[in-house]
Structure 1
């Protein structure tokens, strides 16, 4: 794992408050004669933005509750696009969950700086997690505020059967990728399952495609030192390539969201799908027999690269009435037992060291994350600002796909955003 640098509040929030106050930071207590020694049984509220993980967490929570019979976990996920607003509203009104899923890097660190999170440095086992992984949930005060879940990667998934039937192989260059897409389109097959309705999917897709334009770390080093900027030829080319792919997207792609994209690919109506490692489980659930593989992004200099970052972590609400019990769950999260449960349940790379899975694609992602990784720039380095530079890129790319902005105007907007807060650009 390479070392990473890290750097809609809604006006109508009444519904959000009503949703979260039912399982507030106080949790609940009931008398319990069962379990080890009887005593009070505590129910901890645990919030997440991963609705699709609900069934998977049942197995993980069951394992924790078996070892901690006086602690119950009430797992409640929210729609990803609404989670931040619901969570922030709840925390500000002192009614947040006991345990909360924390966005990685700047968004999560901002909650720590606001005093909403409990430091976790003394949680047993947390010191075994590498510092560059913990960095995604480490505050500017040097304290750790979240136990990381996984190491994510983004890549092109592809249908091996469709490729073989049309004499195609995983592309080794940008030109080969375009030629592959052209061949598929001529055969009447949707080349790339893609949608522009949800902004975060645009920055995610850009995170896959962009590293091909700057080939390795030299450009990143210059960027982070202020020796280059986001109007550079390399970054402009990455946006131009996002535009170049438009002919190979589905019809009406601007109105498609993640569920549409996932279904289009899983039902074999599209040959490729740009997305993250966290989609692997969902794809396989929809179609367990899908002949699935992925390829890393081919770079301009003939290599390949996998965009990686540390995904969300779980944190403890500083105002929880049951910190001791919540911290017990944090301790569980830092164990190899949790890591193995998580990795195999969700088909993802665990943040806990020494964990492998029974899925060859996950292991392939893990290997490439070690040998051919590049950081997800907009998450790791440019997730600050108001709005964040990441959000600015998403909005600008949506504008480009609606025909309102040129690639040159997109990078101008992104650079303008970063220049308001990114220290190397303020020299």
Structure 2
């Protein structure tokens, strides 16, 4: 009897071990962020797997420029991974509408995100969510603290103070006041127009009114940012018209410019290049006491392949992405890419912390052209690029730029007709 019982127990143990092994799941993650492979392998994956035995993660990125094509071909062939890293807005919405991204609206972790955070990965009516928001980038101005001390200026809070600082730096003559060029076009729109613009159109209030057709690009809140841009040219330095985006980065990090109109993605790169202390300030408001608005732009999300055979494990991972633990790991590994969840997070990098602190002072919005309004021809995002450049160079008046963009939008977008 004892021998039989022992054999039975050994068989049962073997069977249980085999069952546990059979239940192990490997989730493959598709992504265009091939620059953060080491962060996934060294930090994110070990942290998740330690908490979730039985679920393994495999991070398999593609080159950024090839990601959309590679992912679409894999999805069509049925060979795509379980987890899909999502670009914001139309590219991911097209994947959802094609049946490739699962509806995760009811996922428990989605409760940790605001409507603005979710807007990059939801249907136009916001009724369905198909990706968990992972990170945003915040716009503002990075400045050289040594230059400010030498010239004797302080961080400006209002538009008048901003131009007074620029005047004083220009008068001092040792620094280009601002490092930004117009050669690459997107720079002028992204770090110019959509950086300062939310203070004029009141962030989400104006952005959503434009989508609804209740405001037009010829209205004052949309023309006024061009008026400010039209005053930037004298402060951008000689030859700004031919200056590329990498040129601007170099001019600032080499200590030749005092201010850099920025996206927070610059933080980690600038930390390794600049040998001076940097600070950051949010776009100055028009008048003291005004509510400030920042472009806190949805940049990267993550969703579930609708065809995955491992849906429950995938949901477990996506819920973890909405946690404070993931947010803390991701934000500190990639300073300048900020978690979008309401979960508390402490950033170790002082410059990144300065950017994210603005969420407590200002209202967050996203870039005005990214949701819905750039689906037609002419493309409003691209038109905003060339309008921003034309206004800075004095080739088009702010009013004419607004009129041209409004006519283009109204030509294909029904709510603006």
After TM superposition, the score normalised by the length of structure 2 is 0.78
Aligned length in residues: 391
- Give the structure 1 partner of residue 123 of structure 2: 139
Answer yes or no: is 1:247 the counterpart of 2:234. yes
- Does the CA contact (< 8 Å) of 2:136 and 2:338 recur in 1? yes
Answer yes or no: is 1:57 the counterpart of 2:40. yes
Q: 1:259 to 1:355 in 2, by over 3 A?
A: farther
- Does the CA contact (< 8 Å) of 1:45 and 1:75 recur in 2? yes
Mean Cα displacement is larger for which, 173-182 or 254-263?
Answer: 254-263
1:298 is paired with a residue whose SS is: coil
Q: Deviations over 1:44-75 (max 9, x none)?
A: 14212x45434433321332344456624234
- Give the structure 1 partner of residue 304 of structure 2: 316
The residue correspondences of 1:400-411 to structure 2 (distance < 5 A) are: 405-411=396-402
1:309 is paired with a residue whose SS is: strand
Q: Name structure 1 gaps, 5 residues minimum.
A: 1-32
1:283 is paired with a residue whose SS is: helix
The Cα RMSD (Å) is 3.6
Mean Cα displacement is larger for which, 341-350 or 256-265?
Answer: 256-265
Answer yes or no: is 1:165 the counterpart of 2:155. no
Q: 1:382 to 1:57 in 2, by over 3 A?
A: farther
Distance in 2 separating the partners of 1:185 and 1:82: 43
Mean Cα displacement is larger for which, 399-408 or 179-188?
Answer: 399-408
Instruction: Please report how far the alpha carbon of residue 349 of structure 1 lies from its aligned counterpart in structure 2 after TM superposition.
Output: 3.2
- Give the structure 1 partner of residue 272 of structure 2: 285
- Give the structure 1 partner of residue 365 of structure 2: 375
Instruction: Please report how far the alpha carbon of residue 90 of structure 1 lies from its aligned counterpart in structure 2 after TM superposition.
Output: 5.5
The residue correspondences of 1:360-371 to structure 2 (distance < 5 A) are: 360-371=350-361
Q: Deviations over 1:195-247 (max 9, x none)?
A: 44545433322111223444677756764553431012332231232232123
Q: 1:372 to 1:91 in 2, by over 3 A?
A: same
Distance in 1 separating the partners of 2:233 and 2:329: 39
- Does the CA contact (< 8 Å) of 2:137 and 2:297 recur in 1? yes
Q: 1:351 to 1:221 in 2, by over 3 A?
A: closer
- Give the structure 2 partner of residue 7 of structure 1: none
Distance in 2 separating the partners of 1:129 and 1:162: 39
Instruction: Please report how far the alpha carbon of residue 40 of structure 1 lies from its aligned counterpart in structure 2 after TM superposition.
Output: 6.8
Q: 1:328 to 1:218 in 2, by over 3 A?
A: closer
The residue correspondences of 1:15-414 to structure 2 (distance < 5 A) are: 37=21, 42=26, 44-48=28-32, 50-58=33-41, 59-66=43-50, 67-68=52-53, 71-79=56-64, 83-84=67-68, 87=71, 91=75, 96-140=80-124, 142-186=127-171, 187-205=173-191, 206-214=193-201, 223=210, 226-254=213-241, 256-287=243-274, 290-302=276-288, 303=290, 304-320=292-308, 323=311, 325-347=313-335, 348-359=337-348, 360-376=350-366, 377-380=368-371, 382-386=373-377, 388-398=379-389, 405-414=396-405
- Does the CA contact (< 8 Å) of 1:284 and 1:290 recur in 2? no
Instruction: Please report how far the alpha carbon of residue 419 of structure 1 lies from its aligned counterpart in structure 2 after TM superposition.
Output: 1.9
2:149 is paired with a residue whose SS is: helix
